Amino acid sequence: MTAPLTAGANPFQDRETGRRLIARIGEKLDRLGATERKPVRLMEICGGHTHTIFRHGLSGVLPAGLEFLHGPGCPVCVLPMGRIDDCVAIAEDPRVIFTTFGDAMRVPGSKKSLMQAKADGADIRMVYSPLDALELARRNPDREVVFFGLGFETTMPSTALTVLKAEREGIANFSLFCNHITIIPTIRAVLDTPGMMVDGFIGPGHVSMVIGLKPYRFIASQYDRPLVVTGFEPLDVLQSVWMLLDQIDRGVVEIQNQYARVVPEEGNPQANAAIDAVFETRPFFEWRGLGSIDESGVAIRERFARFDAERRFAVRSPAVAEPDSCQCGGVLTGTVKPWQCPLFGGACTPESPVGALMVSSEGACAAYHQYGGLRKGAA
Q: Does 21 bind another protein (CB under 8 A)?
A: yes
Residue 266 makes contact with another protein by CB under 8 A:
no
3-state secondary structure of 60: helix
Partners of residue 356 on adjacent β-strands: none
How far apart CA 49 and CA 202 sit, in angstroms, is 8
Spatial distance between the Cα atoms of 135 and 150, rounded to a whole number of angstroms:
19
Residue 244 CA to residue 161 CA, distance in Å, equals 35
Identify the residue among 207, 245, 356, 365 touching another protein (CB under 8 A): 207
Sorted by sequence, the CB contacts under 8 Å of residue 105 that are 6+ apart come out as 113, 114, 115, 118, 124, 126
Nearest to 183 by CA among 143, 213, 141, 142: 213
Residue 47, exposed/middle/buried by CB under 10 A (0-12, 13-18, 19+)?
buried
138 scored as a contact of another protein (CB under 8 A): no
Among 175, 179, 258, 327, binds another protein (CB under 8 A): 258
Determine, following the binding rule CB under 8 A, whether residue 261 of this chain makes contact with another protein. yes
H or E element, residue 204 = none
Residue placing its CB nearer to another protein in the complex, 242 or 279 = 242
Site for another protein in 215-254 (CB under 8 A): 231-232, 235-236, 239, 242
Q: Measured from the CB of residue 268, what is the shortest distance to another protein in angstroms?
A: 5
**Stretch of residues binding another protein (CB under 8 A), selected from 106-114, 116-124, 125-133, 287-295:** 125-133
- Is residue 32 near another protein by the rule CB under 8 A? no
**Binder of another protein out of 329, 362, 369, 379 (CB under 8 A):** 362
Q: Coil, strand or helix: which one is 100?
A: strand
Contacts 24+ apart (CB under 8 A), 36-39: 36/64, 36/65, 38/65, 39/64, 39/65, 39/66, 39/67
**Angstrom distance (rounded) from CA 334 to CA 202:** 14
- If one asks whether residue 271 binds another protein (CB under 8 A), the answer comes out as yes
- The residue within the footprint of another protein, chosen from 32, 126, 131, 277 (CB under 8 A), is 131
CB 57, min distance to another protein, A: 19
132 belongs to the binding site for another protein (CB under 8 A): yes
Q: Is 213 in the site for another protein (CB under 8 A)?
A: no
> Which x/- pattern over 81-120 shows residues binding another protein (rule: CB under 8 A)?
--------------------x-x-----------------
Q: Which residue of 130, 329, 330, 355 would you call a contact of another protein, by CB under 8 A?
A: 130
Among 31-39, 60-68, 154-162, 212-220, the segment contacting another protein (CB under 8 A) = 154-162
* Start-end of H helices in 33-124: 47-55, 58-61, 81-91, 114-119
- What DSSP character marks residue 323? P
Sequence-ordered list of residues with C-beta below 8 angstroms from that of 23, at least 6 positions apart, any chain: none
Fill in the per-residue mask, 316 to 345: x = in contact with another protein (CB under 8 A), - = not in contact.
------------------------------
Is residue 16 at the binding interface for another protein, with CB under 8 A as the rule? yes
Q: Which of 218, 245, 214, 240 is nearest to 229 (CA)?
A: 240
If one asks whether residue 310 binds another protein (CB under 8 A), the answer comes out as no
Question: How many residues of this chain interact with another protein, rule: CB under 8 A?
Answer: 63
Q: Does 298 bind another protein (CB under 8 A)?
A: no
Question: Could you give phi then psi for residue 112, rounded to 5 degrees?
Answer: -155, 165
**214 with 201: CB under 8 angstroms?**
no
Residues of this chain that interact with another protein (CB under 8 A) are 1-5, 7, 11-12, 14, 16-17, 19-21, 23-24, 27, 46-48, 51, 73, 75-76, 101, 103, 128-132, 151-152, 154-155, 157-158, 161, 165, 204, 206-207, 209-210, 231-232, 235-236, 239, 242, 258-264, 268, 270-271, 274, 360, 362
